[in-house]
Structure 1
Amino acid sequence: MDWESPKLLLLALPALALLLWFESQSAHPMDGLRKRLLLVVRALGILLALAALAGPARISQTGKKALGIVVDASQSQGTEGLTKGLAEAARLQSRLGDDTESFIVMLGDKPVLTPKGPQPVNNLTRFQTEHGGDSHYSAAIEYAEALFPAGASRDIVIIGDGHETRGDLLEAARQASVAGVRLHALPIAGPRKPDARIRELTASRARLNEGATLKLTAQIESTLDAQGTLKLYENGIQVEQRPVTLKAGVALAETFTRTPGERNIFKYRAVLEGIGGDSIPANNSALTLVDVRGRLRLLYLDSEGGEAAYLAQAMAKEGIELDLRQPGNIPSTLDQLSGYDGIIVSDVPAHVLGEGTMNAMRDYVDKLGGGFLMLGGPNSFGLGGYYKTPVDDLLPVRLKAPDEEEKQSAAVAIVMDRSGSMAGEKLEMAKSASIATAEVLGRNDFIGVYAFDSEAHVVAPMTRLTSTATVAGQISAVASGGGTNLQPAFEEGREALRRVKAKVKHMIILTDGQTSGSGYEAMAAQCRGEGITISTVSIGEGSHVALLQAIASSGGGQSYTTTDATNISRIFTQDTLMHTGRMMREEPFIPVLVEKHAMLAGFDKWTSPDLLGYVKTIRKATAQVPLVTDTGDPLLAHWRFGLGKVTAFTSDAKSRWASLWIARWPEFSRFWSQVLRETARPPQGRHMDLATEMRGDDALLRVDLQEDAGTRSNDAQVQAEVFFVAADALGAPLKPVQNLTLGQSGPGLYEGSFRPDQPGVYLVRAQSGAEMVSAGLIHNPSSEASLGTVNEDLLDRATKLTGGKILKPGELPDMSETRAVQYIELWPPLILTLLLLFLVDLGIRRWEHVQGLWEIAMAMVKRGKA
């Protein structure tokens, strides 16, 4: 017993309960017996109706047997292999009993039912010519399944070499197993013929920007030794050819390099010609498709416009546009950044960018898949105050100095204003900055914190930094006071630095107002003579900027001015790392190539001139570092962050450290072009991406759609249009062939499919609202090959999935293990019974009418007797 929809039977109890409720509410004048009979009849009717809807069927063992024979008639078998396969099929049929039905299906690019009896050779040759360009095993299996008579056992024997070129035999085997069909295989290979073919043509990138370098690789196989010519066609026009020498059984890979110069869909075809004795010329070409978008456009942030021109001019020659911006004109929102393919930050300190801009940059890379490159300089990486910022998270390098540098101890004295005007956010930010300074120092370093109002206050005496937490607690306790007199705290910090034994001594002074006292410039000059450098930070519009700048100038440090209190931490950490001397090394060195990477393709041996300096960093665990310095520090590091890519180059592209590269290295432009192209966001929709892949005979389309940087778009209308150009007419325009509506299959995911039926190029263009993106799909010409071998692994896996086996010549499959069943549907008699119950129900409800008819009938009988 079997049911089509057994879950419908679960409705029986609620239906009977509803029936009882209706009967309890009924006011029909009917005696108790009739009511009970009516209730029973209606209950039986409900059960019969539900049973009929559930689709019951009785399974009957019939004992009937049927065998389907699928013979590979593709060109790889040749006439000899096909004749041998049909002979084996005829032998199988002759050994079957009279109670077993059989049929033969020939497979090629489509299956064909073969009439019984010997086939003329010209018929076989015509089939291989017209339909033998592919080996479509899965289509033949599905076709054979539909030919089995009802109620018979179902076994299929595959006779062939198992080299499929279309479809998915394993998926067909899984479906056959579910349907109760067993697959068996009788391996037969055609003769090994002289044959050369292009197995595939692959592009290094499916999408790229105009002006980018593209590599196209043709994979060639051959069963004969021969010489010929390999030609490459671009949009139907021959652009290159080269002689090739083929060796039997040896794969050959030939790579072409192209630079598409305009926005277009580029269709490439590789053709192998002049191969004498090639038995299957139909497989001598292969196709691929490349979507070329507009030129790369990157945002280039640099504080020195003149120096930035070196990289900008070099990239203009490579077809890459750099939009140079300087501080004061920097895009700061995600929407403004999203129009760029990448961002370059060169020698711009973190406090100039600000927290909001850095957060937008992080989201740009993480959510929008944008590229990010940081170049070195005195205001980059740790020196630029990026430690513990959103950009620090992005970078593939850590911004603290290498461990060996910590052996050189440093001492830092922080002198900060705690006057009444600093109360609130300013003082809190100053305390946070002091704590951040302690965090970037090492265990061998010293730190002292001195606050001032009208007098000096020792917050944390100059001591070795054994516990950052202890110093942080002391700094956190600072409260605002009154008055502003820098001089006492200045002298306290100076004396503390003079007493400590450290290689580097540095003081940072922060204030937001005017200070009393005098002689500051002379004191700063004396400090410099004692080996102490001084930097100053003025916050707000009321600070004595001129005095602070004079102190920094006399003290050999930097002078910073900001109106945003949130920048203080960045300034402090930047200044500390700069003046403790660990983060920058200015000595000539030659880069060392230690890892292969796509951005260094073609640079097999490193021959560049010296670089003159770099910023020291430490490699993060999962980063790739193809270039290092002579001491092993990272020079070029790269990794993925979220949806995007991030690259760090710890030297610069300007005259300070890269002057020899700019003046003497011919590969300067190519190097940076490859770095930027590999880092930049790949061409695609802003919030939309499209992927295509073949699943058996169907092309699956998958769209990933977002509403904004972090939200997937659901319940959207996504349309796809399919265009086509034939394999032998790549110069012709694409013509539309199909429109699809993609259905949602997951959060922000939409899918659809179509079936390519001709060899050539298919372009799919998906659109949702203003978003549009395209992707290509290649349906190559025939990939049949006269290999003279059997794909035993594929045939063995397919048969095992269904419980079948590999047969020997003349061996019959054991069909006794396959159930021969027949399904007898039971719903027709249930419907007839239901109609009968309806008449019974009608008679019970109209019993008085039944009695009247009975009395009339009896009266007529009596008259007849009289």
Structure 2
Amino acid sequence: MRFLEPNFLWLLPLVVALWFWPRAVTGRADLRAFLLRAAALVLVVLALARPVVDTSVERGDAVVVLDASDSATAAPVLPEGVRDFVRGARRAALVTIGAVQLGPKDAELFDARLSFARDGSSSPLGAALEAAGGLVPSGVPGAVLLFTDARATRSDFAAGAQALAERGIPTFVSRTSATEPNGLPLSIEPLGTLRVGHTGRVRVRGLGATDSVRLESGDGVLAEAFATSADGRFDAVLEFEPPTAGFVAVRVVAAGGVAEATLAVQDPLRVAYLGGRIQGGGEALGQLLGAGFDVRTSPRADDGSLDEDAAGTVERLLGDAPLVVLDDMPAEALPEGLLEELAERVEQRGTGLVMSGGSAAFGPGGYADTALEAVLPVDFVQREEKRDPSTTLVVIIDTSGSMGGERVQLAKEVARLAIQRLLPHDKVGLVEFYGAKRWAAPIQPASNHIEIERAINRLDAGGGTVILPAIEEAYYGLQNIETRYKHVLVLTDGGVERGAFEPLLRRMADKGMTVSTVLVGGNLHSEFLVDIANWGKGRFYSVPNRFNIPEVLLKQPTSAQLPSYRTGNYAVDARGGSVWWGGERPTDLPDIAGYVESEARPGADVTLQVADTGQPLAASWMWGAGRVGAFMTEPVGSGTEPWSDWPEYGRFMGRFLARCASPDDGPYRFEARRQGHEVVVLATARFEGANANVRPAARTSQDRAFDFVEVGRGIFEARLASDPERELWLGVGHTDAGARMVEDRRLVVPSASVPEVAVDPADQLDLDRLAAATGGGSLATTGLRFGSRTTTGAVRSLAPLLALLAVLLYLVDVLLRRLPRRAASQRASAR
């Protein structure tokens, strides 16, 4: 037993005064009362001296970890109970993080001391826990007492905590006070791929609140944005256009401080441009898009097609470029099999495709029923126009005597029906023969209905039948007429003369003049009229009465395909969300000068449409692994000439093409992560057979290459030793045919260490979970123990017990002093 406050023992001589105090008051001595009172006073003095006894059933090693890094407001102080526990330990050790100053008495408590202080700038809490476990020898019970604010510049706690739990070393925790930052940036995270010349987005998150966040580089301010605050955090998204490619050092400035990072900015987007009709279209498109695009044109033959050498170049472009633009190029000018290859790359490899153009693209370019028709987000529209070709009809009516009565009236009726089939742009003439011939109505527009009807009404039968001169008159009259069809219709009762009909009729047929005959009257057949119709390449009709009038065929109406490319001025409406426009959708777009008619397919995203018809002008959709776009006019041709003065045209076209491009360059996708003192780079093939000819490759910014090992089908892994507290810059890609590395992408592997005051609370050490996992607890509420054996303390205080005994003796003394009075009173009553 020992006394924690031995100075109170100097009060023991006061017990002797009790011997004299009763005599001075009562004048008599009471030995029993004196002894009780003296014992009670002795117990009170001993309780004030705080005697303690060691009650540990087993002694072990105690390791105290003190965290006094940058975020701590003050160095932790050892409570009295911890001192007692350490004194009762078999062996004690101290692990410090940061600058910790201990008093002489506290320093004497520890047999060993280990420091992780590095100017107070870092707190490797995980390493401190590992060291604490290592200070407890195997087979010896021990305990770890941890004083920390739970923040660490490196969040590698798992190994140390797991080692303590596996060895059964309980960890008792005490959370110390820490600085609470306000408006301090914690993380800078790129949203998507950052590419030179393209609008990039960076998300900044931090602790506390701030009005605005500013992104800066060596070139000045890149972007500034307002921040939203909630639940003790702030969040902001900044948009900017990286001025250069490579590894760009940036800093974020907020109300509570500055955070620094390195951003990986990729090279301009590679575009394989296949075009032939517009001279210099690739160069013009590159100028329109700006520095963010590397437009690579393919060489063409003299006729605008791709020859065999050019086809090889195209194949190489398709293999490298994440986007292919097929601009106003007819399908027949492309190498055989290229359309099928393009469709396969889009669906299987995720290559982006944009078809654009006018009269040499889409349906007009011959892409109907090709491999690309099903890939495009639009249906081809091919309108047809019904055309009634112009015709000149000469009606020859027999007005001889044999046609008298009903026959001439029947012939007039047939003539009227034939003329009624003509359109206003057609022409008609009327010749009668009655032994002689004359023009009853000269050749004139068929729209002169009244004049023609009067001429028919004036006809009357009389005279002989001489038909050959009438046919010759019709022949000469049709010589100078310019119409698609020229037709002669002969109406007679069949009683005609014989003559040189065949040479004349064949000559007329050779000149495009057809001759048909109509037999009017009771006869049903005339061999001679049939011969005339055959020689004149016409038809023979028989009209026995007014109830059997046939439909005379004078011409065959045709249909013609209308051009799908429409020229003119057409208003344009903007569609789609902010991803296509970089902000609010514009409402004052210039007119378009020409476009190819089409219809958007279900599921297509329409970005631009013709205002009047609702037909798409720019549309896209996902097809397999890739996105396909359709721009229904020439990007740099006559169709978009009114847009040459539109300031936003280049930005819109750049966003449209970038949206359709594949997010990955090259045949592999890359991912890098830290694993202790190593960086693990994982390369995954983007499509089947990607590693057949090329392998993944990577190198550091110091041009140090490292090899990949295949760990699965199409999956490769590389490991590189790296300091966890330093950033690592990587260039990743693949090897070409010459085994040289082709860099497809840049990666930044952040440091595993962060400034102490900028530790995200979500990344802090979970003290309660650590204590529960190791079988420990809180220093404030849990009894300390070594190993798995528990006590209420390493030492037990006797002061409470002594004080309780003193109170009991005082109560006994009071009771005894009352008993004699009761006995004396009873004897007095008996007397």
Measured at CA, do residues 309 and 207 of structure 1 come closer, stay the same or move farther in structure 2, by a change above 3 Å? closer
Higher helix share: 1
Measured at CA, do residues 520 and 410 of structure 1 come closer, stay the same or move farther in structure 2, by a change above 3 Å? farther
- Structure 1 residue runs of 4+, over 6 Å off? 111-117, 126-129, 224-227, 241-248, 306-309, 408-412, 518-523, 583-587, 714-719, 787-790, 813-816
One-letter amino acid of the counterpart of residue 216, structure 2: L
Q: Do 1:594 and 1:628's aligned partners in 2 also have CA atoms closer than 8 Å?
A: no
One-letter amino acid of the counterpart of residue 340, structure 2: N
Match of 2:529 in 1: none
Q: Distance in 2 between matches of 1:226 and 1:595?
A: 27
Q: Do 2:270 and 2:322's aligned partners in 1 also have CA atoms closer than 8 Å?
A: yes
Unpaired runs of at least 5, structure 1: 1-61, 121-125, 413-517, 524-553, 559-577, 724-734, 820-866
Measured at CA, do residues 792 and 161 of structure 1 come closer, stay the same or move farther in structure 2, by a change above 3 Å? farther
Match of 2:95 in 1: 105
Q: Distance in 1 between matches of 2:63 and 2:84?
A: 14
Q: Deviations along 1:343-370, whole A, 9 cap, x unmatched?
A: 1123444455466111221344455553
- Aligned with 1:76: secondary structure? coil
Q: Distance in 2 between matches of 1:745 and 1:168?
A: 26
Q: Is 1:190 aligned to 2:177, yes or no?
A: yes
Q: Is 1:219 aligned to 2:204, yes or no?
A: yes
- Aligned with 1:130: secondary structure? coil
Match of 1:329 in 2: 306
Match of 1:301 in 2: 275
Q: Do 2:194 and 2:266's aligned partners in 1 also have CA atoms closer than 8 Å?
A: yes
Deviation at 1:150, TM superposition (A): 0.7
Question: Of the candidates 46, 70, 87, which is equivalent to residue 78 of structure 2?
Answer: 87
Measured at CA, do residues 127 and 393 of structure 1 come closer, stay the same or move farther in structure 2, by a change above 3 Å? farther
Match of 1:77 in 2: 72
Q: Deviations along 1:541-568, whole A, 9 cap, x unmatched?
A: xxxxxxxxxxxxx96747xxxxxxxxxx
One-letter amino acid of the counterpart of residue 751, structure 1: A
Q: Distance in 2 between matches of 1:759 and 1:695?
A: 13
Match of 2:689 in 1: 711
Q: Deviations along 1:40-87, whole A, 9 cap, x unmatched?
A: xxxxxxxxxxxxxxxxxxxxxx98865655443331123x1x32xx53
Deviation at 1:702, TM superposition (A): 2.0
Q: Do 2:356 and 2:633's aligned partners in 1 also have CA atoms closer than 8 Å?
A: yes
Measured at CA, do residues 379 and 615 of structure 1 come closer, stay the same or move farther in structure 2, by a change above 3 Å? farther
Q: Do 1:372 and 1:679's aligned partners in 2 also have CA atoms closer than 8 Å?
A: yes
Q: Is 1:169 aligned to 2:157, yes or no?
A: yes
Match of 1:802 in 2: 773
Identity %: 16
Match of 2:729 in 1: 762
Unpaired runs of at least 5, structure 2: 1-56, 109-113, 388-507, 514-556, 791-831
One-letter amino acid of the counterpart of residue 669, structure 1: G
Question: Of the candidates 739, 746, 754, which is equivalent to residue 775 of structure 1?
Answer: 746
Q: Deviations along 1:439-461, whole A, 9 cap, x unmatched?
A: xxxxxxxxxxxxxxxxxxxxxxx
Q: Do 1:387 and 1:399's aligned partners in 2 also have CA atoms closer than 8 Å?
A: no
Aligned residues: 552
Q: Distance in 2 between matches of 1:348 and 1:247?
A: 49
Match of 2:660 in 1: 679
Deviation at 1:384, TM superposition (A): 5.0
| 1:607-622 aligned within 5 A | 607-611=588-592, 613-619=595-601, 621=603
Q: Do 1:341 and 1:681's aligned partners in 2 also have CA atoms closer than 8 Å?
A: yes
Match of 1:314 in 2: 288
Match of 2:717 in 1: 750
Q: Distance in 1 between matches of 2:679 and 2:638?
A: 54
Match of 1:200 in 2: 187
Q: Deviations along 1:643-702, whole A, 9 cap, x unmatched?
A: 64432334542556434323x421111211222234345574x44554323346643222
- Aligned with 1:285: secondary structure? strand
Match of 1:286 in 2: 260
One-letter amino acid of the counterpart of residue 261, structure 2: L
Deviation at 1:329, TM superposition (A): 1.6
Measured at CA, do residues 381 and 196 of structure 1 come closer, stay the same or move farther in structure 2, by a change above 3 Å? same
One-letter amino acid of the counterpart of residue 190, structure 1: S
Deviation at 1:193, TM superposition (A): 5.1
Match of 1:268 in 2: 249
Q: Do 1:619 and 1:625's aligned partners in 2 also have CA atoms closer than 8 Å?
A: no
| 1:112-127 aligned within 5 A | 118=106
Q: Do 1:287 and 1:780's aligned partners in 2 also have CA atoms closer than 8 Å?
A: no
| 1:239-258 aligned within 5 A | 239-240=220-221, 251=234, 253=236, 255=238, 257-258=240-241
Q: Do 1:183 and 1:803's aligned partners in 2 also have CA atoms closer than 8 Å?
A: yes
Match of 1:232 in 2: 216
- Aligned with 1:142: secondary structure? helix
Q: Do 2:186 and 2:205's aligned partners in 1 also have CA atoms closer than 8 Å?
A: yes
One-letter amino acid of the counterpart of residue 693, structure 1: R
Farther off after superposition, 352-361 or 196-205: 196-205
TM-score (norm 2): 0.53
Q: Distance in 1 between matches of 2:133 and 2:695?
A: 38
Measured at CA, do residues 258 and 793 of structure 1 come closer, stay the same or move farther in structure 2, by a change above 3 Å? closer
- Aligned with 1:658: secondary structure? helix
One-letter amino acid of the counterpart of residue 744, structure 1: E
Q: Distance in 2 between matches of 1:399 and 1:520?
A: 45
Match of 2:582 in 1: 601
Measured at CA, do residues 590 and 114 of structure 1 come closer, stay the same or move farther in structure 2, by a change above 3 Å? farther
Q: Distance in 1 between matches of 2:372 and 2:631?
A: 14
Q: Do 1:593 and 1:626's aligned partners in 2 also have CA atoms closer than 8 Å?
A: yes
Q: Do 1:344 and 1:374's aligned partners in 2 also have CA atoms closer than 8 Å?
A: yes
Larger Rg: 2
Q: Do 2:621 and 2:628's aligned partners in 1 also have CA atoms closer than 8 Å?
A: yes
Q: Do 1:719 and 1:767's aligned partners in 2 also have CA atoms closer than 8 Å?
A: yes
Deviation at 1:770, TM superposition (A): 1.9
- Aligned with 1:608: secondary structure? coil
Q: Deviations along 1:139-178, whole A, 9 cap, x unmatched?
A: 333333333311245765554333444234357656765x
Match of 2:355 in 1: 374
Q: Distance in 1 between matches of 2:373 and 2:789?
A: 66
